[in-house]
Amino acid sequence: MQALLGADYPPFAAALATSAPVSIRLNPAKPLVDVLPKIDGVVPWHPQGRYLSQRPVFTLDPTFQAGAYYVQEASSMFLYEALRQTVDFSKKLKVLDLCAAPGGKSTLLADLLGPDSLLVANEVIRTRVNSLRENLEKWGTPNVAVTSAEAEDFGGLEGFFDVIVADAPCSGEGLFRKDPAAMREWSPAAVDLCSARQQRILTAAMDALAPGGILVYSTCTYNAQEDENQVDWLCRTFDLQILPLILPAEWGIVQNESGYHFYPHRLRGEGFFLAVLQKDGETNRKRNVGGSFKSLKALAKTQLPEVARWLRPGIDLRFFETINGEVMALPAELETDYLVLDKPLKAKWFGTMIGEFKGKDFIPSHALALSQLAAPELPGLTLSQEQALLFLKKETFDLPVDTPRGWTLARYAGLNLGWMKALPNRMNNYLPPERRIRMELPNAE
């Protein structure tokens, strides 16, 4: 770093001795009024990015659990500005977040895409897929697919994606301030290993990028071997051109011929690198797709009216049933795209799981409660903060005597938290056990 920064090294080293800033990104589909954590500034390169004056206990904030915001490092929100300048989001797009867990960039991408575009959020490490699915469920966007595949598995989808975001596994030098483990794990050998892994991932993904498509390559590290050298290698090896961005000098981002560096002594964020590249050629949209899904069957027509009453009207959806009996809703406009993904990929979760039938009764899912698909007129009960936290601990409490019997949405600050069922003498809490808060509540005895 001394060789890289020269005279800038002392303030850089001093910045690493300070506390890392705390930042969140608001969900525009779930606006909040008067219940936000204390804001201490706006992230300049994202309109929904906010700095906080201190780090609250996010787990104990019901609005966080409802998906009203995502806790995301400020520098990585720069993806928004990079894509805003280089991609036309008024078009129907297919976007792949190749290394997606835990979901920060995927939820950011979901906000940029129109309803007729498709987001594929992929995470190869299966133990991290659940957190990715959970965060996308909280965000509530219906036009998504979560996959768990090697980069090579996308090779058969030649020219399928208009945009690929590759936030590649790296040596993590930009995380030293906030994650002491990153310091302990760093070594020159780790840099070599990460560099080779990055090239393997990028090589495997290139066939899936459409001619004329955009590749965003990023890392949370500083060294040229994983940053500038990789961009130069991409341009030499594939038909890619670096796209320059126009940025205000006051943002403090350092630009060179290959990309953009974020240093903690120059701006309010952690270490980060990003480059935007475009593949030569023009997109060919012709793709013949036939057949049916491998493990899904169309929902019986007799069950459609019951499903429809739980959903927001005016959205054209297709309904399918998994082998486990779960009912899945897919945007009709994207059915063909999901069929394309279904053939080469094994581990995948499409659209929104909205519930299941038990005989003639429909049991709504937790994902439906958090989804933008949920009908706004569904029965609901506004909870106090104390009640909301009890609900999120999967506990029960007394309901008002006039609470309608049956399925009811638990709500806080206008946001859905999940389902409860009001019965004559009690309530049942249907929050999934794996989503319950395990922390002790404030003032708990």
Active site positions, annotated: 220
As a whole number of Å, the CA-based R_g of the chain is 23
- Cα(336)–Cα(344) distance, rounded to whole angstroms? 14
User: Closest by alpha carbon to 342, among 328, 354, 360, 356?
Assistant: 328
- Cα(235)–Cα(229) distance, rounded to whole angstroms? 10
* Residue 363 burial (C-beta neighbours within 10 Å; 0-12, 13-18, 19+): middle
CA distances 438 to 132, 135, 393, 394, 416, Å, are: 20, 18, 7, 10, 20
| Residues 243/155, Cβ–Cβ less than 8 Å | no
CA distances 376 to 65, 309, 379, Å, are: 19, 11, 9
CA distances 71 to 27, 68, 134, 173, 367, Å, are: 11, 10, 14, 20, 20
| Residues 375/309, Cβ–Cβ less than 8 Å | yes
| Residues 267/75, Cβ–Cβ less than 8 Å | yes
- Cα(117)–Cα(140) distance, rounded to whole angstroms? 15
